[in-house]
């Protein structure tokens, strides 16, 4: 009987672990290093979905205009792209759709900043928590 109880707890542990794993969103890092195009702008193509942005680590130069051309997977779930770093000249809050949208800004301070989707449905995890988040690294 005792063995059975231990076995039962063991199974419960495995099941619990599996459920937790399924709810843990681990994304590989996809790095994109922007270059300055002939028009003097750093163009970055970004695609998003409920739990990702691709790329999710963007490296740009400071004090050079950046243009994100952003879109999301076709679907009914609305998405956004937010960068709340006014201290570095970036205040972005845009709705995204499956049609690509150009979003321009110029980072004015070196550092690491986040871009993310601010959307959240009721009591579910926010898109940001699910992985709709990336890092914008501004370098010299």
Given the rule CB under 5 A, which residues bind Cu ion?
A: 79, 117, 119, 127, 132
Considering the complex, state which of residue 45 and residue 120 has its C-beta at the smaller distance from Cu ion: 120
What whole-number distance in Å separates Cα of residue 95 and Cα of residue 126? 16
CA dihedral (107, 66, 41, 67) in degrees, to 10, reads -160
Q: Which helix (H) or strand (E) holds 88?
A: none
- Least distance in Å: CB of 117 to Cu ion? 3
Considering the complex, state which of residue 41 and residue 129 has its C-beta at the smaller distance from Cu ion: 129
- Least distance in Å: CB of 127 to Cu ion? 3
3-class DSSP state of 106: coil
- Least distance in Å: CB of 115 to Cu ion? 12
Which residues make Cβ contacts (< 8 Å) with residue 54, sequence separation at least 6? Answer: 30, 46, 47, 48
What whole-number distance in Å separates Cα of residue 26 and Cα of residue 20? 12
Considering the complex, state which of residue 66 and residue 117 has its C-beta at the smaller distance from Cu ion: 117
Q: List, in sequence order, the alpha helices (H) in the chain.
A: 2-22, 127-130
- Least distance in Å: CB of 113 to Cu ion? 18
Considering the complex, state which of residue 34 and residue 82 has its C-beta at the smaller distance from Cu ion: 82
């Amino acid at each position: 009987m005792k063995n059975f109880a231990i076995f039962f707890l063991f199974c419960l542990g495995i099941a619990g672990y599996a459920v937790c794993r399924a709810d843990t969103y681990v994304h590989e890092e996809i790095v994109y290093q922007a270059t300055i195009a002939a028009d003097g702008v750093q163009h970055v193509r970004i695609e998003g979905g409920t739990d990702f942005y691709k790329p999710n680590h963007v490296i740009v130069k400071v004090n050079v205009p950046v243009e994100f051309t952003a879109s999301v997977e076709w679907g009914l779930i609305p998405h956004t792209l937010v960068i709340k770093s006014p201290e570095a000249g970036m205040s972005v809050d845009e709705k995204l759709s499956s049609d690509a949208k150009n979003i321009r800004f110029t980072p004015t301070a070196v550092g690491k900043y986040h871009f993310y989707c601010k959307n959240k449905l009721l009591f579910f995890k926010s898109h940001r928590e699910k992985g709709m988040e990336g890092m914008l690294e501004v370098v010299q």
